């Protein structure tokens, strides 16, 4: 069976889209699909601007907006432009209209999109969605009408397996390109530091560039606050592997400064953070336990990763392998029991805070060191 072609890197897809919009009229339908809101919004902005340059009327709808009106969205899709030759309809965060539980509203939305792209001079529709099923009818419609489905995945914040240099990480290369365009002097080493300190959130990285542009890269280490530890999933990985120093540092950063929610905003909520950390840690321990069981029965790592139900980007497999090798096979179930006890405490109304996770990190480190 032939391997499905992979989407281009989001910065490459964005450049390709920009070049296409300079040469040609916007397509009838764009589906911007992927978890990276930055690239979905940047592509939507470029398409909308190209439509406005050609005299289109623009309408925007965001399903996360409390004032979202589904009837108004259908009206904008099904009616003609009032004061222009065509209309650009932007539908952001459309997951509830294209997901498995979309129901009648999903069908009505898809029917309206079909009518719009099938009408003469129908203009352009832009649909932004975090995740769209591979065989979804919206994908098929985009192909059938000459539209485009553009992937907007997260930028990889680790280097490729064949080149372990952290300066070769996809997000570092993207940041260097952004710095050149913003006329901020930034070396590859400095870009790697900014990414290590900030994480792979493009909005946060652009904000760091703004600070450096105003004050100069000479003050880089003072201006760029250390924030990358504030990722619950990274902290859970450090905890699972027994890296106590990084785990405790990350726990302190999380509880002091919060974490970035799915909308990109910073969330400072100890209760929500405790639940998120417990869920992330349970998932990583369960993956390791399942994989270790397969390896203990003589299976290879490919079979072990399948048994673990591994998901994620290119870092997921090497992370799992390093995690499994960090501890004896029988230890993973014991760690799961400890986290399960912490979960039971949280459900009974007890407060789970930074101290609880720091104690886990220290206990698990001692076991790793055999003390």
Q: Report pLDDT digits (tens) over 262-303.
A: 444 455 566 777 888 888 899 899 999 998 888 888 888 788
> Domain 10-151's class?
alpha beta
Strands (DSSP E) contained in 130-175 are 148-151
Looking at residue 216, its pLDDT comes to 61
Q: Report the alpha-carbon distance of residue 154 to residue 167 in Å, rounded.
A: 17
- The pLDDT > 70 percentage for the chain reads 86
Confidence tier at 83 by pLDDT (50, 70, 90): low
Looking at residue 195, its pLDDT comes to 83
Burial 67-81 (b: 16+ CB within 10 A, else e): eeeeeebbebbeeeb
Least confident of 119-128, 176-185, 215-224: 215-224
Looking at residue 248, its pLDDT comes to 79
Looking at residue 238, its pLDDT comes to 87
Q: Given a cut of 80, is residue 120 above it in pLDDT?
A: no
Least confident of 100-104, 140-144, 192-196, 309-313: 309-313
SS3 assignment for 165-214: CHHHCHHHHHHHHHHHHHCCCCCHHHHHHHHHHHCCCHHHHHHHHHHHHH
Q: What is the mean pLDDT of residues 52-59?
A: 92
Q: Given a cut of 70, is residue 81 above it in pLDDT?
A: no
The single-letter DSSP state of residue 260 is: E
191 with 167: CB under 8 angstroms?
A: yes
Looking at residue 26, its pLDDT comes to 95
Tracing tokens 């909520």 back to the chain, one arrives at 269
**DSSP string covering 218-248:** GGHHHHS---TT--HHHHHHHHHHT-HHHHH
Q: Report the alpha-carbon distance of residue 234 to residue 241 in Å, rounded.
A: 11
Looking at residue 179, its pLDDT comes to 93
320 with 291: CB under 8 angstroms?
A: yes
Q: Which two tokens stand for residue 349?
A: 């109304």
Looking at residue 6, its pLDDT comes to 63
Query: Per-domain residue ranges for the chain?
Result: 10-151, 166-223, 232-368
Q: Which two tokens stand for residue 69?
A: 């009106």
Which backbone phi and psi does 269 adopt, to 5 degrees?
-150, 100
Q: Report the alpha-carbon distance of residue 172 to residue 208 in Å, rounded.
A: 13
Looking at residue 263, its pLDDT comes to 43
In angstroms, the Cα distances linking 155 to 34, 127, 169, 201 are 11, 21, 9, 8
Q: What is the mean pLDDT of residues 156-164?
A: 77
Which backbone phi and psi does 164 adopt, to 5 degrees?
-75, 0
Pick the CATH number of 232-368 from 1.10.630.10, 1.10.10.10, 1.20.272.10, 3.40.1280.10: 1.20.272.10
> Is it true that 10-151 and 232-368 share their CATH fold?
no
Looking at residue 4, its pLDDT comes to 38
90 with 60: CB under 8 angstroms?
A: yes
Question: Measured at the alpha carbon of residue 23, what is the angle toward residues 181 and 16, in degrees to the nearest 5?
Answer: 50
Looking at residue 300, its pLDDT comes to 83
Looking at residue 223, its pLDDT comes to 54
Which comes out higher in pLDDT, residue 112 or 190? Answer: 112
Looking at residue 16, its pLDDT comes to 96
Least confident of 54-58, 88-92, 126-130, 188-192: 188-192
Least confident of 36-50, 104-118, 132-146, 336-350: 336-350
Q: Which two tokens stand for residue 65?
A: 């907006």
Least confident of 56-60, 348-352, 364-368: 364-368
Least confident of 44-48, 141-145, 342-346: 342-346
């Amino acid at each position: 069976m032939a391997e499905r072609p992979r989407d281009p890197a989001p910065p490459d897809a964005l450049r390709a889209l920009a070049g296409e919009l300079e040469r040609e009229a916007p397509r009838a339908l764009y589906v911007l699909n992927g978890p990276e809101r930055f690239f979905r919004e940047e592509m939507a902005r470029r398409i909308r601007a190209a439509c406005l340059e050609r005299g289109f009327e623009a309408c925007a709808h965001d399903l996360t907006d409390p004032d979202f009106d589904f009837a108004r969205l259908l009206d904008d899709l099904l009616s003609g432009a009032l004061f222009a030759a065509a209309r650009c309809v932007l539908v952001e965060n459309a997951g509830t209209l294209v997901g498995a539980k979309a129901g009648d509203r999903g069908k009505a939305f898809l029917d309206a999109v079909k009518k719009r792209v099938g009408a003469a001079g129908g203009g352009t529709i832009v649909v932004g969605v975090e995740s769209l099923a591979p065989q979804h009818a919206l994908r098929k419609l985009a192909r059938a009408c000459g539209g485009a489905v553009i992937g907007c995945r997260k930028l990889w914040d680790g280097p490729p397996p064949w080149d372990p240099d952290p300066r070769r990480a996809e997000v570092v290369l993207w940041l260097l390109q952004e710095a050149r365009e913003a006329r901020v002097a930034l070396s590859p080493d400095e870009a790697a530091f900014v990414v290590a300190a900030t994480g792979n959130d493009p909005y946060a990285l652009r904000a760091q560039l703004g600070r450096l542009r105003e004050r100069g890269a000479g003050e880089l280490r003072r201006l760029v606050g250390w924030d990358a530890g504030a990722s619950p999933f990274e902290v859970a990985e450090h905890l699972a592997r027994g890296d106590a120093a990084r785990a405790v540092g990350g726990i302190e950063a999380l509880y002091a400064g919060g974490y970035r929610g799915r909308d990109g905003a910073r969330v400072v909520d100890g209760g929500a953070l405790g639940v998120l950390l417990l869920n992330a840690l349970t998932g990583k321990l369960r993956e390791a336990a399942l994989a270790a069981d397969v390896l203990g029965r003589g299976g290879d790592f490919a079979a072990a990763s399948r048994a673990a139900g591994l998901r994620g980007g290119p870092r997921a497999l090497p992370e799992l392998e390093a995690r499994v090798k960090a501890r004896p096979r029988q230890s993973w179930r014991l760690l799961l029991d400890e986290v399960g006890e912490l979960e039971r405490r949280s459900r009974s109304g007890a407060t789970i805070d930074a101290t609880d996770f720091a104690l886990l990190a220290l206990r698990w480190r001692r076991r790793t060191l055999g003390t």
